[in-house]
Structure 1
Amino acid sequence: MDSSEAGGLQALATRALSGEQGAVADLLAAVRRLVHRYCRAKLGRLPGADHAAEDAAQEVCIAVLTALPRYKDTGRPFEAFVYRIAANKVADAQRASYRAPVPTDDVPDAATAEPGPEQLALDAFDAQTVGRLLDTLPPKLREIITLRVGAGMSAEETGRALDMTAGAVRVAQHRAMQKLRKTALEDASLQVAP
C-alpha cells in the first residue's frame, strides 16, 4: 500500500461507517492486502505457514468487519486499529499451531524437485536461528524488523501500523539491525549458516 492508499484506508473506514454502499467491500479488500503480508511474515516459520497465514488474514478481516461499528476515530491511523487486531489473531494462530498435529504426505512414487530433508532441516535451523536472534530484541524493535523485512512494508506503512513517524521507524530499524549484528558476532550459536 502506498501513502495515497493509506490515507484512502482511513477514508474508506469513514465511508463504511457512514453506510456508503461498496465501501465496506473496498475496505475489507484493502485490509486483506495489508494483513496478509503481515500474517505471512509472522507465521512463516510454522508448519503449514501458507494456510495459517491465509486463515489468520481471513480471521482479521472478519474481526475488522465485526469491530467496525464500534470503531471511533481518535486521530490514530486506521492501520493501527487493524494492526492491533492482526497481532492478536497471529498470536492465536501461533498458539493453535503448537497444539495441532502436523499432517504428512504419502510417500511419493517418483523423485520431486522440492527440497529434500537435508535442505528442509537446514532451512528450519536457519529459521530457528533467526527467530532466536529476533528474540534478543525488545518487542517494539522486533515488530519493526518483522514488518519492514519480513512483510516488506515501507517505513511509512510500518509507521502507520505502529503509530510512529517514518523517520522514527528508520532510526529504530537501524538500531535493531546494529544490535542483531553485534549479537550474532558475539554468540557463535546464533550465526546463520551460509
Structure 2
Amino acid sequence: MTTAIDPELVRRAADGDRAATAALLTDARPRVVRYCRARLGRIGGAYTTADDVAQEVCLAVLRALPGYREQGRPFTAFVFAIAAHKVADAQRAAVRDATVAVTDGPPEQPDSAPGPEQQALATDLARRLSVLLDRLPEVQREIVTLRVAVGLPAEEVGAIVGMTAAAVRVAQSRALARLRTLAADGLDEVAA
C-alpha cells in the first residue's frame, strides 16, 4: 500500500483508459481516506465527514485527471495537494456550519454504536490529539499525517512537501519528539 503509484498507470488513466482509471482510484482511495480521517477525525463519533471529503477528493482527482501531466513529481503529490485543499474547505465549512441538529424523536431500534460516554471520551481524546498536532508547524504536521496516518514512504512525502527523503525523516523525528514533549506535559492540560 505504501508503494508509489505506477506512472504508466497514471498516463493511461489520464489518456482516458477506464480500466487504468479504476485501478488508479482503487489504489489511491484508501490513502486518501486515511489522510482525510487523520486530518478531520471523528465528528460525533463517526468518520462520516472525513469519508465524504475523501469521496470529494476522489471525484476531483477523476475530473482533473484528463488534464494531468507528469511534471517530475509523483502522482501522489497531485492527489494530496487536492486532498489538502478539500480538507481545508471542510474545516472552514465545519466552523461556519457549527450548529446543533434536532432529531425527530427516539430511534425505533437500539443503537449498536458506542454509547455517549465512549463517544465523548473518543471525541475528547481526538480533540486533544488534534490540538497537539495543531501546535506543530504546518509542514511537520503534514509530514506526520502523511507518514504515520497514511503510511507513505519518506520519498513520496518528500515529493509532496518539496523536501528530500532525508529531510522528511529529520522533520518527522523532530515533530514526534515535539509531540512527546507536549504529551508529557499532559493531555489533560491541552486547552479546550
Instruction: Name the TM tier (shorter chain).
Output: 0.7 to 0.9
CA distance in 2, matches of 1:120, 1:29: 31
Tell me the SS of whatever aligns to 2:47. helix
Matched AA of 2:146:
L
Unaligned runs of 5+ in 1: none
Please identify, of 19-28 and 170-179, the stretch whose mean Cα deviation from structure 2 is larger: 19-28
Q: TM-score, normalised by structure 1?
A: 0.79
In structure 1, the partner of 2:77 is: 80
Aligned residue for 2:22? Answer: 25
| 1:116–1:25 distance in 2 versus 1, CA, 3 Å | closer
> Compared with structure 1, are the counterparts of its residues 52 and 18 closer, same or farther at alpha carbon in structure 2 (3 Å cutoff)?
same
CA apart distance, 1:143: 0.9
Which string of whole-angstrom CA distances, capped at 9 and with x for unpartnered residues, describes residues 68-119 of structure 1?
A: 2222211011111110001111122222233054547654678766433333
Q: TM-score, structure 2 length as denominator?
A: 0.80
Q: Distance in 2 between matches of 1:96 and 1:123?
A: 22
The answer to whether the Cα contact below 8 Å between 1:46 and 1:97 also exists between their aligned partners in 2 is no
What is the aligned-residue RMSD (CA, Å)?
Answer: 2.8
Secondary structure of 1:22's match?
helix
What is aligned with 1:94? 91
Report the equivalent of 2:179.
Answer: 180
Alpha carbons of structure 1 residues 182 and 102: separation in structure 2 relative to 1, 3 Å: same
Q: What is the correspondence of 1:1-194 to structure 2 with a 5 Å cutoff?
A: 1-3=1-3, 6-8=4-6, 10-47=7-44, 49-98=46-95, 99=97, 101=99, 103=101, 106-107=105-106, 114-186=113-185, 189-190=189-190
Aligned residues between the structures: 188
Q: 1:59 to 1:109 in 2, by over 3 A?
A: closer
2:143–2:168 contact (8 Å) kept in structure 1: yes
CA contact (8 A) 2:36 2:83 kept: yes
